[in-house]
Amino acid sequence: MGKIFTIGFTRMTAEEFFTCLERNHVKRVVDVRLYNTSQLLGFSKYPDIEFFLRNLSGINYVHDLQFAPSEIILESYKKKYITWEEYEEAFAALMATRYIDKYILKNYAGQENYCLLCTEVSPENCHRRLVAEKIKEVLEDVEIVHL
């Protein structure tokens, strides 16, 4: 059984973040954020995050927009135009239009010890949890571990 990790960097120091990934033997970080270049993202801002992961921890980095929400869905939730339940429904519909099951099989089957990166501290109201659950649904024999 493989593992899918998820992590939100908010409220973590760089030391806590990189140590956590190393301790769990993460081989690749899959950034599922729609936006990853803002100065407000601190150490997780691209391209810095890619440099830090590779050179400090020997971890590969990929920004996979196939797993990111659309701007409309994200902004609607942030501005409280839609509830979390409505966000989940809209995100699931978006994933279906992207043929995400086939995408997962093609790009993530047989991959181990990767970690989905997003912003939120907790996975409950974060789309990284939805992505992890979708990957588990498609690949079946995986365990989700929220760091």
Is residue 1's pLDDT more than 80? no
User: With respect to CATH, is domain 2-146 assigned 2.20.25?
Assistant: no
Q: How far apart are CA 4 and CA 143, in angstroms?
A: 6
Give the confidence band of 7 by pLDDT, cuts at 50, 70, 90.
Answer: very high
The pLDDT of 24-28, averaged and rounded, is 97
Percentage of the chain lying above the pLDDT 70 cut: 99
Please report the pLDDT score of residue 40 as a whole number. 78
For the stretch 61-115, pLDDT in tens is 999 999 999 999 999 999 999 999 999 999 999 999 999 999 999 999 988 899 9
Contacts of 143 (CB under 8 A, 6+ apart): 1, 2, 3, 4, 136
Task: Name the strands in the sheet holding 60-63, side by side, starting at the edge strand that comes first in the sequence.
Answer: 60-63, 28-31, 114-118, 2-8, 142-146
Is residue 39's pLDDT more than 90? no
Mean pLDDT score across all residues of the chain:
96
**Measuring CA to CA, which residue among 126, 130, 128, 132 is closest to residue 144?**
132
Residue 6: what are its φ and ψ, rounded to 5°?
Answer: -135, 150
pTM of the model: 0.95
